[in-house]
A = this chain, B = another copy of it.
Amino acid sequence: MVSDAIRMGHGSGGRLSAELVREVFLPLFNNPAINALGDAGVFTLDGKRFALTTDSFTVRPIFFPGGNIGKLAACGMINDLAVSGARPIFLSAGFILEEGLALEDLRAIAGSLAQEARGVGAQLVAGDTKVIEGQAGLLINTTGLGQVLDCTELGPGRITEGDTIIVTGTVGDHGLAVLLARGELGISASFPSDCAPLWELLEPLYQGLGAAVKFARDPTRGGLVTVLNEAVRPGLDFVLDEALVPLLPAVESASEMLGLDPLYAACEGRAVLFVAPDKAEEAISILNAHPLGRAAAAIGRVVAGEGLVIGVTRTGGKRVLDMLVEDQYPRIC
């Protein structure tokens, strides 16, 4: 049950977030596009499939190694469309500025957002600016409209026994980099966030493999394990070979020092893919050909089961990788 008042964990992407969506929002906004709980709502307009996605970005600090909140707001929107098989075409941005924000910071942040949007050929056609009291920061909402490629057929319902689970790169870089950038932990980050736009990485995969790509998702809040838990269903288990999950050594050691599990840490430039087993090798070779997919690897497989995500540890043990109730740290995106 959702408690009586909102707490930070309701925004974590974990179990509390899921309950809030299921108990408050879904009953009110009941329609096929929203009930699908995809990263974007897909609908048909004039016989063509389009996708609409929205995200608010609240990350602190607003500048971090490898990016800033503007780059993140563009990439987050692009990636939600990309994992829905949709080419980003138009976007809007709503800036909520806090009093005292330096104008040069705003310029840099809006500049990063513009650059990433331009990079995928998306046009910003609507914007809004509000100002609130606060601590010289800002919040950004981006909403993106994309056109779904005809060749794609993506959905968690298409995942079947035998499918290969692929991740396009190292996981947890973003979450750990942002956490360390807060400077409260006495460790400094030697690695940047993975924040990056995924459309150009994923489009060749969709064009090349079509419906053999069953499902895609970008593991943001709650990381890899949370995304897997959202996609799994009764009758299937997802078996994750933890030794195969790409990890930057610096992310691994920072995680160990802080007692965090990088499998639950946010990525902002990675996708998790479910691919038909006979096409898995081809998928990895397409991904490896792009700079953002050099570390792409098969990390697990879909087996008959009870709706669990199971990790096979490096020592060969097994553990159930459940969703966290709330995230390890708030305001990561």
Contact = CB atoms under 8 A, between A and B. Distances in A.
Interface of A: 2-12, 17, 20-21, 24-25, 28-29, 31, 33-34, 40-43, 45-46, 48, 52-58, 89-90, 92-104, 106-107, 110-111, 113-114, 117, 123-133, 136, 139, 141, 143, 145, 330-331
Contacts of A45: 45, 89
B131 A31 contact: no
A99 B133 CA distance: 16
Contacts of A127: 21, 25, 29, 34, 54
A92 B5 contact: no
Given A5-B100, A21-B127, A52-B143, 20 more contacts: A4-B102, A4-B104, A5-B101, A5-B103, A7-B100, A8-B99, A10-B129, A11-B130, A11-B132, A25-B129, A29-B127, A33-B123, A34-B125, A34-B127, A54-B93, A54-B94, A54-B143, A56-B96, A58-B130, A58-B132
Query: Copy number of this protein in the oligomer?
Result: 2
B52 A126 contact: yes
A110 B55 contact: no
Contact of A2 (B24, B89, B103, B139): B103
A112 to B, nearest CB: 10
A85 to B, nearest CB: 15
A39 to B, nearest CB: 9
